[in-house]
Structure 1
Amino acid sequence: MTDDFMSRWELSRRRVLGGAAGLGLLGPAAAFGQGAGPWSQPPKSKVDKLNFVVWTYGDIYARISKQFEADWGVKVDSTISSFNDHPTKLATMYAAGEKIDVSQSSPFSFPNFVSQGLVEPLDDMPGAKEYAADFTPFTKQVAMVNGKLMGLPYFATAWVWNYYSDMLEKLKFDKPFSTYEEFIEHCVKAKKDGVSRYPVLWVAGVGLEQLPGTWYQMTWNRGGTFFDKQGNHMLGPGSVARETLKWWANTFEKGLDIADPESLKVQFTTSAKAFGAGKNLYRGPNHHYGLNVANDPAQSPIAGKVKVLGSPGDGKTIADAHVYFLCTANRNKEWAWKLLQYLGGKTKDGNYTQAINLAKDAMLGSGYESVMKSDVIKTGWAPWGDVPEILKIWEKSAYIAEVCSSIYQPWHFPWTDQLNIEVQKCLTGQITPDACCDNLIKGIADAKRKV
């Protein structure tokens, strides 16, 4: 997730269905609005204002701040940075002793924020146990740290594949690939027949979960991991991760030459926009919500023709969740908790307002089981993709840390920087997959020494 992701906030026809009136879409499972409850009770103390420190994403923070001020009569200030700048901005403000009531984190930064003392435990806050009981399994793996509730969900996503249905028909294939052998067969035929110069668009742009996530996902789907349960790397000769990289690199090589060179520049949203040009047969593996770009008529010439596909074999895939948290630098814990709930929990009326709006407006998944099983997902996602199929893939997803447990370690960031460099060199033929993995093994020890 990067600025690339943030820049795509589109308020098109979906916004017309949003807002308070849109809550009627929730259907029978919906009535998240439950009247009286901890979320509807004002704290006994008083504050003049609150604030949150977040990364930019459309107008969601202006909207939720306005609702909070209308409901509680408390002004909300905000500090909003780019996604990449957010961790540094937050740490700088915290070190300077500034007041920070609520902030947010990717799963990659959260362990560090917790260990550095920025995050206030939530277990004793009113209604916290009810929230935790409603978490999806992989949201629990992010928001629960050492058995303590440390955050509430922002959004969740699972990795899927996409295909261009018209091109598949033109190639006279009855269905998309179900094995990696079929994947190569389809792509080679598309190239040979002159239907597509580069049949596959990978998500291989530099980032924390873009290029690395593609490698993680295919390794996990093939039965491998990057680290075992004891934290030992699984990148040696013959490992699933190494063999997966060899297979992946081969799609870029002159022998096959089926991978679009643009793959090395694109991240989740830019790849969805590029795929919308209709030049590729397959795209992935990538975040599920890219469908709201690839199937948006305002952004994609092939809107409606981009279909979702699960991974080969048993369909194992990966997922992640981002969180909001109550900062230890808060000015008033009870009121900060109230604001945190507006971002990552329930508003005064008992609705998961922010989660619902994000699902309807941007196809983002929720960290709450009740939202994921409600009509807001079934109806809200329907204009962009096959919702039952996406949810079936969702059920087969595992939290990304099960594949790459180093995200819990302070050395993960510098090591990921190296991973991006080495793997791109590998995919462009500058080094072999074996050399790439050997360099990354050495890089683990180097990164550990530096932190």
Structure 2
Amino acid sequence: MQPITRRSFLRTTSLLGTSAVLADGFFGEARADKPINLAGWVFKPDTVKDYVDLYNQKLGGQVKYEAIPWAQYHPTMETRAFGGEIFDVMYCAHNFRERWYANGLIRPLDDLPGIAELKKKMNPQNLESLKAKDGKLAGVPYFTSLFILIYNEPMLQGAGIKAPAKSWDELVEHSLKLKKDKVSDYPFLPNWNVSPSGTMPQFMTDAFSEGANVFDARNKVIVDQEPGVARAMERWQKVWKAELVNPEVLTKTSSTDTHRLFWTGRYAYHTNHSYYLKTIAGEPENSKLAPKKAKMTMYPGTGQTYMWTDSYTINAKTKTLDDAWKLVRFLGGNLTGDWHVQRQWCLISGLDNPYPEMYEHPEIIASYDRWVDLKLLRRQYEKGKVIAAYKEPWYSEYDVKAVPIVHNIIRGGVTVPQGLKELVKLQKSLE
């Protein structure tokens, strides 16, 4: 089977199961009366445009799509919304969803046709994470992911390291050896970028791997009371002080930029979102670690890592609700009967989704086999841990303001206990 490219995607989508569309009763339907505005952050915008073009041509849509840079996406959307602009359908990251919902920017979806069946198809953990604090469904899945540990197999083998680290102590030991032997200047590449997809989810992941909680049952930050969090931060300080980490990671503005450093083959270990292994191990035109020279291994410690689900949401002020919901079902559900968009994201980018039946499809299995051990990845998903704290109105602001505090801990600007108390104080100040 040939790798899925944008060109092959266009060929196959031109044949988009007419039978599937007919089965759902939409083929040949009259065009929407009014345009639908779709906004998303920049991630393969050409691919998204292909989806939109297909929808407009085959399903009678009038969708206008705008891509906004990831780092500025949520603030830009809020500013434009409060200025009176209406984007009928919007991407929304999980850590901004409650903020948008509580402020009346997006509407609940529970009253819309077909939603009950879609809920039944989802992994229960992911479904719960898509609900607002009041229990209503605030979004439909764009994708789900979690943090994984990736290793550079040729580098480890060349240095006489026979197997990837199974513990944090072993990972640090390997990194110290690789630096001492001048195999790698910076053997360890954690995802400490400044965006909402970097430092703080990495912080939670490493805390979870130590068996620690970051929030209590009331969603209060309790990191100053958790020895496992302190252990994780002491390790971060240690690898930073030993110069095992490229300082450039602290200034990267996205997880995408961070993972591209690993393409060079100059690092031994990398922690990042699962789908980035697709480009690292599956795109020889970009990465020196493809094909499949970079691999994943189970996360150290408890194996638990932070898992989340980002979503498509509907503007509470849309004047074209039926058409907006139809587009959301196409993008995040199963409008055409073949999970078209969700399936293509798996094939093209390794973006996972919370529909377990997807991973029984032979095409998906064959595609994933080119860049990852799918069974191992699904085992890691069994260890995925979601939080409820992002459903608090203060969370998105906390998530941003916590980053410089954690970076200061990493650099040794404050002691670990002092820094963790600052995080607790920050959260309390935002309530």
Does structure 1 residue 264 correspond to structure 2 residue 250?
yes
Does structure 1 residue 234 correspond to structure 2 residue 222?
yes
- Number of equivalences: 423
Does the aligned pair in 2 maintain the 1:326–1:336 contact within 8 Å?
yes
**Match of residue 435 from structure 1:** 418
Does structure 1 residue 340 correspond to structure 2 residue 328?
yes
Does the aligned pair in 2 maintain the 1:132–1:149 contact within 8 Å?
no
Deviations 1:150-172 (A, max 9, x none): 22111111210011111111222
**Structure 2 matches for 1:33-432, cutoff 5 A?**
33=20, 36-37=23-24, 47-57=33-43, 58-145=45-132, 146-236=134-224, 239-253=227-241, 256-266=242-252, 267-284=254-271, 286-295=272-281, 296-304=283-291, 305-347=293-335, 349-399=336-386, 401=387, 405-432=388-415
Does the aligned pair in 2 maintain the 1:119–1:326 contact within 8 Å?
yes
Does the aligned pair in 2 maintain the 1:56–1:82 contact within 8 Å?
yes
Deviations 1:133-156 (A, max 9, x none): 111233213322333222211111
- Ranges in structure 2 where 5+ consecutive residues have no aligned partner: none
Distance 1:120 1:372, change over 3 A: farther
Secondary structure of 2:23's counterpart equals coil
Does the aligned pair in 2 maintain the 1:97–1:329 contact within 8 Å?
no
1:434 maps to amino acid: P
Report the Cα distance in structure 2 between the residues aligned to 1:131 and 1:23, rounded to whole angstroms. Answer: 26
1:290 maps to amino acid: Y
Report the Cα distance in structure 1 between the residues aligned to 2:229 and 2:82, rounded to whole angstroms. Answer: 39
Report the Cα distance in structure 1 between the residues aligned to 2:171 and 2:154, rounded to whole angstroms. Answer: 16
Report the Cα distance in structure 1 between the residues aligned to 2:137 and 2:91, rounded to whole angstroms. Answer: 14
Does the aligned pair in 1 maintain the 2:21–2:27 contact within 8 Å?
no
Does the aligned pair in 2 maintain the 1:55–1:80 contact within 8 Å?
yes
Q: When the two structures are superposed, what TM-score results if normalisation uses the length of structure 2?
A: 0.89
Report the Cα distance in structure 2 between the residues aligned to 1:380 and 1:439, rounded to whole angstroms. Answer: 45
Does the aligned pair in 2 maintain the 1:359–1:376 contact within 8 Å?
no
2:53 maps to amino acid: K
Distance 1:302 1:408, change over 3 A: same
Deviations 1:398-430 (A, max 9, x none): 22x2xxx43222222332233211121221222
- Higher mean C-alpha displacement, 205-214 vs 374-383: 374-383
Deviations 1:268-306 (A, max 9, x none): 22232211222221111x101111222221111232311
Deviations 1:239-272 (A, max 9, x none): 321221112211111xx43223233234422232
Report the Cα distance in structure 2 between the residues aligned to 1:426 and 1:167, rounded to whole angstroms. Answer: 30
Distance 1:413 1:167, change over 3 A: same
Deviations 1:322-379 (A, max 9, x none): 10022221122222211111221234x3222211121111111113222234334312
Secondary structure of 1:204's counterpart equals coil
Secondary structure of 1:109's counterpart equals helix
Report the Cα distance in structure 2 between the residues aligned to 1:238 and 1:142, rounded to whole angstroms. Answer: 24
1:75 maps to amino acid: Q
Distance apart, 1:237 and its partner CA: 5.2
Give aligned-pair identity as a percent. Answer: 22
Secondary structure of 2:347's counterpart equals helix
Does the aligned pair in 2 maintain the 1:135–1:369 contact within 8 Å?
yes
Report the Cα distance in structure 1 between the residues aligned to 2:198 and 2:165, rounded to whole angstroms. Answer: 22
Report the Cα distance in structure 2 between the residues aligned to 1:170 and 1:147, rounded to whole angstroms. Answer: 52
Does the aligned pair in 1 maintain the 2:191–2:270 contact within 8 Å?
yes
After superposition, the CA RMSD in angstroms is 2.7
- Higher mean C-alpha displacement, 413-422 vs 84-93: 84-93
**Match of residue 8 from structure 1:** none
Distance 1:386 1:312, change over 3 A: same
Distance 1:240 1:335, change over 3 A: same
Distance apart, 1:39 and its partner CA: 6.8
Report the Cα distance in structure 1 between the residues aligned to 2:309 and 2:358, rounded to whole angstroms. Answer: 14
Report the Cα distance in structure 1 between the residues aligned to 2:83 and 2:238, rounded to whole angstroms. Answer: 50
Distance apart, 1:83 and its partner CA: 2.4
Report the Cα distance in structure 2 between the residues aligned to 1:33 and 1:220, rounded to whole angstroms. Answer: 42
1:181 maps to amino acid: D
Distance 1:445 1:120, change over 3 A: closer
Report the Cα distance in structure 2 between the residues aligned to 1:176 and 1:19, rounded to whole angstroms. Answer: 39
Report the Cα distance in structure 2 between the residues aligned to 1:257 and 1:386, rounded to whole angstroms. Answer: 31
Q: When the two structures are superposed, what TM-score results if normalisation uses the length of structure 1?
A: 0.86
**Match of residue 14 from structure 1:** 5
